[in-house]
Amino acid sequence: MMKKTLAVAAVAAAMIPAAAFGQARDQIRIVGSSTVFPFSTAVAETFGRQGKFKTPVVESTGTGGGMRLFCAGVGTGHPDMTNASRPMTKSEFETCAKNGVTDITEVKIGFDGIVVADKLGSAKMNLSRKDIYLALAEKVPMNGGLAENPYKTWAQLNPNLPNTKIEVIGPPPTSGTRDAFVELVMDFGCKDFPEIKAITDAKVKAQACSKLREDGAYIEAGENDNLIIQKLNTSPDALGIFGYSFLDQNKDKVQGSQIEGFDSTFDNISAGKYPISRSIFFYVKNAHVGVIPGIKEFVTEFVSEKAYGKEGYLVDKGLIPLPDAERAKVREASVGLTKLAM
């Protein structure tokens, strides 16, 4: 009886994916990072113009939001790919597995810098990661402990900076750019303070470094980086946080601040000199390959030299390409839909 029950359960489990694809879509659906959105959109448009498959639908939901949608299950009600401006976390991988998304390919497409920008023509600032931490942390080191952030202007925390109000417009918690900003800027900027070093509880220390103030100095702008650029043009003293690609595409409107003496340029990011840079990715749900038309062909287009190569059309959109050897390795693994393991 037990063997019969197990056999029936196994057959039922095997039928779930087929049932989920009862009415298969004929168009790829992609969600995720606002940073990767312009690259994915450019590939989708090029792919659609080739005429073999419909142009994929690309939505900007933020990295975290994209992961939740991607990992929710298998079938036509769930997206086929998700863009990410950071790697998939172990907890996201486990959530995917719990919901039957067990065969995933990770595609690293290149590098991006996180810029701290302001309106074109403003006096360019040279900020350290310590400056940014002191400007934006909810609590800051003071008199041997942590106190509510008292700084209202940049000059109050560093006399070499302008006496202008601290007003920074940036991404929400669902954004991979926000995650990377916390890791690369806030966590780095806080680490050398004796008051932080004295904290022995890892969770308390992480909170002290990463918690952003909520008194109006930091303003969440949603997942549309173009809105940040629009707000910078109406707020001359404000700074905005977004990916290098948006700076590259809006050089007639905004300019990047220097970070520790380095400009946020293509050459500085690709050379590893610019301090706030990161890898960017997209993820493929392999159970959808061969069911939703064109997924493998779309991946092949994305990792082609004409797209993400050194002279590819994505470079014109602001992508910082991978080194030659790494691009070749990524291309081979991606086209082969190599399964991600954690």
What pLDDT, on a 0 to 100 scale, did the predictor assign at position 311?
95
Tell me the pLDDT tens digit for each residue of 94-113: 999 999 999 999 999 999 99
Task: Tell me which of 22-26, 213-217, 288-292, 313-317 is least confident.
Answer: 22-26
- pLDDT band for position 134 (cuts 50, 70, 90): very high
| Nearest one of 230, 226, 257 to 115, comparing CA atoms | 257
What pLDDT, on a 0 to 100 scale, did the predictor assign at position 12?
39
- pLDDT band for position 20 (cuts 50, 70, 90): low
Tell me the pLDDT tens digit for each residue of 165-223: 999 999 998 888 899 999 999 999 999 999 999 999 999 999 999 999 999 999 998 77
Share of the chain above pLDDT 70, in %: 93
What pLDDT, on a 0 to 100 scale, did the predictor assign at position 13?
39
Separation of alpha carbons 31 and 290, rounded Å: 19
Separation of alpha carbons 235 and 252, rounded Å: 16
Task: Tell me which of 64-78, 132-146, 222-236, 243-257 is least confident.
Answer: 222-236
User: What's the average model confidence in pLDDT over 155-160?
Assistant: 96
Average pLDDT, the chain: 91
What pLDDT, on a 0 to 100 scale, did the predictor assign at position 193?
95
What the block records as the tokens of 25 is 């879509």
What pLDDT, on a 0 to 100 scale, did the predictor assign at position 23?
65
User: What's the average model confidence in pLDDT over 117-131?
Assistant: 94
User: What's the average model confidence in pLDDT over 278-302?
Assistant: 97
Mean pLDDT comparison of 23-37, 242-256, 284-298, highest-scoring range: 284-298
Strand partners, 280: 110
Separation of alpha carbons 154 and 132, rounded Å: 9
Helix H or strand E segment including 217: none
User: What's the average model confidence in pLDDT over 133-161?
Assistant: 96
| Nearest one of 276, 267, 268 to 115, comparing CA atoms | 276
What pLDDT, on a 0 to 100 scale, did the predictor assign at position 224?
76
Helix H or strand E segment including 184: none
Separation of alpha carbons 85 and 37, rounded Å: 10
Measured in whole angstroms, how far is the alpha carbon of residue 280 from the centre of its chain? Answer: 6
- pLDDT band for position 10 (cuts 50, 70, 90): very low
